[in-house]
Each structure stands twice: as structure tokens, then as C-alpha cells.
């Protein structure tokens, strides 16, 4: 029996697992495979070069899912950019294609709820303060990102255990856990901390259906939890990325006397270089996001097998934990044997 939570009941998915939006990774093959496995697949809007291309990606994903699939959503990330995209047009394209679930991220929670009115919005937050703001603005669910996550963890450096426990104390709407989740143990832990499920990015990068180069998947399998690094710390725009020649150079420049301005780093961190990593398999070609969950990944399964294993392992762990609870009579019996 699959685990049922507010996430599964509200969205009508089978398993409480969300594939997070990832630049260059959240494409139709991956989103459709996750949805077909019974979890929530997520297309990344800004991976597509234009709103019209997003329309085609949505249609392709639906075609791949077929009638037996579950749900797909669209991620729209609202972050500062050298050349800001037309968020409204991307949102309009998704809305007109009938997308009913959106994952939003970024520091403008007004835009998050305004961009996709009358649709189910999961908004990603890295602090309880921002989560409360998102709740006030009317988002339907929150994705709470701990310091372990890939991408932007904020500047407060609060790990997932405390952040999720604080969310349980403060929030009145459902939330899912993000950052450092890759297996059944993580799902069981997230549920015990009040979450309605988990959001996974790095783990889904390393699947058969992920569109990235096989050599990068193999590099993830080889990696440990020590193989990520933070860039942009001195610019107050921290990002966790894979530790390679480029990210190490970025940090070196930031730490030199006088520091570094973004203009000094622009060429190193260009998105086109990061895309090249996934296309060519050269892990040193540019900056690419990875969470410390790389330390938990030791295989490259298909999405269906991965989702089923995570759910089964979490169920077994929860059942095992239930056996830890004994009544007074059992306690007395155990004590008498000591």
C-alpha cells in the first residue's frame, strides 16, 4: 500500500514524491517518466527557449504520459537574471495549455501567486519567515528547502531537520521537504518532521530518463557528500553547485583580497557553460547544480523503480518504528529479564 498524505490526496498522485524543477533537466522525458511512475513530474519552464516552445514541451509530456499517467506541473523560477525572461508569457502559455500545478521559486512571493492565478501553487522557501509570507500571499503548498539543497539555499544556513521542525510549528498549510532527500529513509524522516512528502532534484538527475549525459550520471554515483561547494557567498546570493575546476576557481576569486564582483565571474558561471556539462559529459566544462544528496546515490535506476523503492523503503521504516513502541506490560516484561 502506498503512503497517503495531504500531497497525494490533494493532487491525486500515488506517491508523495515531487521531481523538482531543474534548469536543462526538467524536460518532457524526465517529467513524463516521473508522472508515469505515480509521482509529480515537473517541467522547467525556463529550460525552454520561448513560451511557444514551452507549449510544445507540455504537449509532448502529456503525449508521453498517456492516459495511465498521474500528474505533471510546471516550474517557474523568479530569480534575478542578466536577461530576465518574460515570466508572464511563460505562465500564460502553461495556463492556456491547461497546466493546473505550478512550482514557483524565488524571492518575489507576490509574483509567485500572481503569475498563476486560480491554479495550485507549490512555492519554494528557504526560511520560515518567507514561508509565512508565501502562506499569507495565498500559495497552496510550500516546499521547504534546507541548507543541503542544490541551487540557492539562502543565506541563513539552516539545515533541513530544524527548518522542517520549525515549519511544523509555524505553518497552517501543507508543506513538502526539499534538500538532501534521495531515498526511503529521507521520505520517512520528512514525514516525521511534518512534511506531506519530499521534493527531489539531484536524485532524479541520476535516472535512466534524465536528459543529462551518462558521464555526469556516473560522476554523481562516484561522488560523496563532500563533492559540492558554495559559490556567490560573498555576493549574498549563495548557490550550492558541484565541486569542479570552474566552481573552485569562482570561490578562489571571491576569496582573494578585495573579493570579486559578479562581472569578474560572469564568464565562468555562464548558463551556456553549465548546459555544455550536461550535453558533453565534461563535468569541468561549467557550473552545474548538485545537492549533498549525491552522497546517497549509488545507482542509475529508471524513475518507476526509483519511486517504488523509495515508497517501499519508507513504508518498511515506518512500520519498523511502530514496533519500537511498547505498552507498560511489555516494558515490565523486558525489564524483568534484565
How far is the CA of 137 from the CAs of 11, 74, 117, in angstroms? 20, 20, 11
Assigned C-alpha cell, 85: 525572461
Above 80 in pLDDT, residue 67?
A: no
Average pLDDT over residues 134-163: 97
pLDDT digits over 91-144, tens only?
Answer: 999 999 999 999 999 855 455 556 676 689 999 999 999 999 999 999 999 999
pLDDT of residue 115: 62
pLDDT digits over 186-211, tens only?
Answer: 999 999 999 999 999 999 999 999 99
pLDDT of residue 123: 95
pLDDT of residue 20: 94
What share of the chain has pLDDT > 70, as a percent?
Answer: 96
Higher pLDDT, 185 or 84: 185
Q: How far apart are CA 297 and CA 300, in angstroms?
A: 8
Confidence of residue 286 (pLDDT cuts 50, 70, 90): very high
Assigned C-alpha cell, 226: 563532500
Q: Which of 4-8, 165-169, 334-338 has the lowest mean pLDDT?
A: 334-338
pLDDT of residue 111: 55
Of 161, 163, 159, whose CA–CA distance to 142 is shortest?
A: 163
What share of the chain has pLDDT > 90, as a percent?
Answer: 85
Domains of the chain with CATH codes: 6-211 (3.20.20.70), 228-280 (no CATH)
pLDDT of residue 113: 55
The phi-psi region of residue 260 (left if phi > 0; otherwise alpha if psi is between -120 and 50; otherwise beta) is: beta
Confidence of residue 156 (pLDDT cuts 50, 70, 90): very high
Confidence of residue 78 (pLDDT cuts 50, 70, 90): confident
pLDDT of residue 50: 97
pLDDT digits over 226-251, tens only?
Answer: 999 999 999 999 999 999 999 999 99
Provide the H-helix boundaries in the chain: 6-11, 28-36, 51-65, 87-96, 109-115, 128-137, 160-170, 184-192, 202-205, 214-222, 245-255, 262-265, 271-280, 303-322, 328-336
Above 80 in pLDDT, residue 69?
A: no
pLDDT of residue 101: 96
pLDDT of residue 121: 95
Q: Which of 14-28, 40-54, 65-79, 296-310 has the lowest mean pLDDT?
A: 65-79
Amino acid at each position: 500500500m502506498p503512503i497517503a498524505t495531504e500531497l497525494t490526496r490533494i493532487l491525486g498522485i500515488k506517491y508523495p514524491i515531487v521531481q523538482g524543477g531543474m534548469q536543462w533537466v526538467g524536460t518532457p522525458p524526465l517529467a513524463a517518466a516521473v508522472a508515469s511512475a505515480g509521482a509529480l513530474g515537473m517541467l522547467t519552464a525556463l529550460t525552454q527557449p520561448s513560451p511557444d516552445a514551452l507549449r510544445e514541451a507540455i504537449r509532448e509530456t502529456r503525449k508521453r504520459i498517456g492516459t495511465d499517467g498521474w500528474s505533471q506541473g510546471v516550474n517557474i523560477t523568479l530569480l534575478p537574471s542578466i536577461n530576465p525572461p518574460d515570466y508572464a508569457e511563460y505562465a500564460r502559455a502553461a495556463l492556456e495549455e491547461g497546466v493546473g500545478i505550478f512550482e514557483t521559486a524565488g524571492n518575489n512571493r507576490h509574483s509567485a501567486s500572481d503569475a498563476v492565478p486560480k491554479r495550485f501553487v507549490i512555492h519554494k522557501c528557504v526560511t520560515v519567515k518567507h514561508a509565512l509570507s508565501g502562506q499569507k500571499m495565498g500559495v497552496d503548498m510550500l516546499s521547504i528547502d534546507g541548507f543541503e539543497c542544490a541551487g540557492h539555499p539562502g543565506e541563513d544556513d539552516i539545515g533541513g531537520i530544524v527548518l522542517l521542525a520549525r515549519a511544523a510549528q509555524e505553518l497552517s498549510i501543507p508543506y513538502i521537504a526539499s534538500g538532501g532527500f534521495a531515498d526511503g529513509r529521507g521520505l520517512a524522516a520528512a514525514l516525521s518532521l511534518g512534511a506531506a512528502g519530499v521534493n527531489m532534484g539531484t536524485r532524479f538527475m541520476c535516472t535512466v530518463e534524465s536528459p543529462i549525459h551518462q558521464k555526469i550520471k556516473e560522476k554523481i554515483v562516484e561522488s560523496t557528500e563532500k563533492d559540492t561547494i558554495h559559490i556567490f557567498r560573498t555576493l549574498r546570493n549563495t548557490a550550492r553547485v558541484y565541486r569542479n575546476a570552474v566552481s573552485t576557481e569562482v570561490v578562489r576569486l571571491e576569496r582573494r583580497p578585495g573579493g570579486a564582483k559578479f562581472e569578474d565571474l560572469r564568464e565562468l558561471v555562464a548558463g551556456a557553460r553549465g548546459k555544455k556539462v550536461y550535453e558533453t559529459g565534461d563535468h569541468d566544462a561549467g557550473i552545474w547544480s548538485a545537492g549533498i544528496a549525491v552522497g546517497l546515490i549509488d545507482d542509475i535506476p529508471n524513475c518507476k523503480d526509483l519511486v517504488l523503492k523509495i515508497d517501499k523503503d519508507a513504508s518498511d521504516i515506518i512500520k519498523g518504528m511502530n514496533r519500537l513502541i511498547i505498552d507498560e506490560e511489555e516494558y515490565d516484561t523486558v525489564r524483568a529479564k534484565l
